[in-house]
Structure 1
Amino acid sequence: MSIFKELALPTTLDDLLTAREEALRLMADARRTLEMAKEVLAPHGRHLMPHAAQIREDQDQVRRELDTSLWRRAFDMTGFKQLMDAEAVAEFEKSLCPTPPEFTASTIRATFIDLRINAESMFQRGVFNVFRYLSDDYRTNVKEPFRIGSKVIMEGMVEPSFRSGLCIRYGSWAKDKLNDLDRVFQTLDGKPFQPHALTSAMDAAFQAGEVFENENYRAKAFKKGTLHLEFLRLDLLDKVNEQIAEYYAGNVLPDARAA
């Protein structure tokens, strides 16, 4: 797939590395300058150094916080994050705590070369996980256990909105599930992904008592908590099913558009 072949390490990562080194140098200089200010004041009495000018964190903690932010920025810049499902993103975030890998040229190269090699399998695993628990019909389809039809019914996805009407369940896996689903469709369509744009648009429609529809989906919310979701782009649905087939068994599955 072209989305994997086009992945590359942008030259702006070099700019991030340069900025990191300069920022750490300036912060170390600032630390030394503040220590000098404290020494200048010390002979004239205790506690003269303003509290707001006190250094509260050591240099290692500063570096760890900076490197954590730089890793997150690097993942956004390279496009790898768009290939990652919620589980993979959680694994990435876990790797940054409590101590992230040092953000250096060698660790960047090792991390992103490995990700580029495994990008397709990582994406396919994410597709499989996204659609694996999409609906009861999907799970119990004996003849085609891992193929998505054009319509699904999703349980436990909807709740009353505190404003009016209905909305996607707040603070639950429901929003993450739809977010991951939309990420897959946008990626396979070669478009940039805007996190939670779909759930926000659905909420606006459901709160107004309307059926949601855009170029990819039609969705209707019900008071009992179910969400009826229809996939309108059958070409993208075919691509999803190809990814699932390759991940699950490498089989060419028969057409299921009538599902």
Structure 2
Amino acid sequence: MIGSELILTTSIKSMLEARDHIRENVSQAMQLLHGATEMEKRVTLQRYSMLESFLTSGHGHYFMLSRPTDTVDAVMKHVDAQFWSAVMDQSGIRAFMSAKRQADFNEMIGKAETPPFEMDTIKATFAELYEKRADMMEDGVVDLFRRLSWDYRTNNPVKIGRKIIVYHLLDSWGSVNMRTTDMLDDLVRILSVYDGKPIPEHRNGLYSAISDGPMRVNADVDTDYFHIKVYKKGTGHITFHEKAMLLLDQCNRVIARRYPQSLANMNGRAA
């Protein structure tokens, strides 16, 4: 009996020592992880940490503590994606990217499928983007025309004039249609680039301007380049300011260059 008690006492003592050691290691690990998440937020200028999200929001099945190398690799894919997002936002290169290209890139970020965030990869990526910035800008104009001013019967673009009408600005419940306001934000983005002006933040876009206004139906919203009148049936009547007309001519010339066969059809009409 005494022998059993001695063995039990010895086992408990070693277990308590091991527990204290584990607690110390876990505490150090948590402090290091906290420091890593704070550093990530500080560098990427984000209010949330992709690392913390990865570890706490249901992604646990992607890693195992018994395979630390695989775990680190999995975590860094998400951290790298956040860093790519930050450097793309801070560089201003998004201003030249078409809406589709931005959506494709955002999807890569969301799925953590971006390349490793390493100097050689960064240089190569930005060299390619910078070299293709004019083509990307034109792609953005074509993408915008395809959604805003396109004759689908002839599959030809239609010249944007001083006044256009956009449909589905409000849905059947009277709520603002984000897809339509995103399209109009793209128009503001392209006109801002051609105007040599900073691009307005998306958070201050037309969705917020219309949604947060005193009334959505019969709302009047002004941007630097056009005025929108919102009607009950969900349409938006857009009148471009004088300063925007020369900028629209640049857009129309891009379309005429890409679609020379459409010149005969380049007459303004409702979008």
**Structure 1 residues 65, 196: closer, same or farther in 2, change over 3 A?**
same
Report matched runs for 1:192-203 at 5 Å: 192-193=198-199, 194-199=201-206, 200-203=208-211
Kept in 2, the 8 Å contact 1:133–1:139? The answer is no
Q: Which of 136, 146, 154 is matched with 2:166 structurally?
A: 154
Kept in 1, the 8 Å contact 2:96–2:137? The answer is yes
Q: Which residue of 2 aligns with 1:37?
A: none
Q: Letter of the aligned partner of 2:17 in structure 1?
A: H
Q: Which residue of 2 aligns with 1:184?
A: 190
1:174 maps to 2:180:
yes
Question: Partner of 2:142: helix, strand, or coil?
Answer: helix
1:111 maps to 2:117:
no
Q: Which runs of 5+ in 2 are unaligned?
A: 1-13, 34-54, 56-62, 64-70
Identity %: 28
The structure 1 segments of at least 4 consecutive aligned residues displaced by more than 3 Å after TM superposition are 45-48, 50-57, 202-206, 249-259
Kept in 2, the 8 Å contact 1:156–1:174? The answer is yes
Report matched runs for 1:61-140 at 5 Å: 61-96=74-109, 97-135=111-149, 138-139=150-151
Kept in 2, the 8 Å contact 1:152–1:229? The answer is yes
Alpha-carbon separation, structure 1, partners of 2:79 and 2:260: 42
Larger Rg: 2
Q: Which residue of 1 aligns with 2:235?
A: 226
**Structure 1 residues 153, 94: closer, same or farther in 2, change over 3 A?**
same
Indicate the structure whose relative CO is greater, using CA pairs within 8 Å and at least 6 residues apart.
1
**Structure 1 residues 207, 68: closer, same or farther in 2, change over 3 A?**
same
Q: Letter of the aligned partner of 1:105 in structure 2?
A: M
Question: Partner of 1:207: helix, strand, or coil?
Answer: coil
**Structure 2 length as normaliser, TM-score?**
0.65
Q: Letter of the aligned partner of 2:211 in structure 1?
A: D
Deviation at 1:73, TM superposition (A): 1.5
CA RMSD of aligned residues (A): 3.4
Q: Which has the higher helix share?
A: 2
Alpha-carbon separation, structure 1, partners of 2:165 and 2:232: 14
Q: Which residue of 1 aligns with 2:38?
A: none
**Structure 1 residues 223, 77: closer, same or farther in 2, change over 3 A?**
same
Query: After superposition, what is the alpha-carbon deviation per residue over 1:15-50, rounded to whole angstroms, capped at 9, x for unaligned?
Result: xxxxxxxxxxxxxxxxxxxxxxxxxx9662548628
Query: After superposition, what is the alpha-carbon deviation per residue over 1:29-81, rounded to whole angstroms, capped at 9, x for unaligned?
Result: xxxxxxxxxxxx96625486287756766322332222111111111222111
Deviation at 1:86, TM superposition (A): 2.3
Report matched runs for 1:53-68 at 5 Å: 58-68=71-81
Q: Bigger CA drift: 242-251 or 60-69?
A: 242-251
Q: Letter of the aligned partner of 1:80 in structure 2?
A: I
Query: After superposition, what is the alpha-carbon deviation per residue over 1:129-148, rounded to whole angstroms, capped at 9, x for unaligned?
Result: 1122215xx42697x83421
Q: Which residue of 2 aligns with 1:10?
A: none
1:246 maps to 2:254:
no
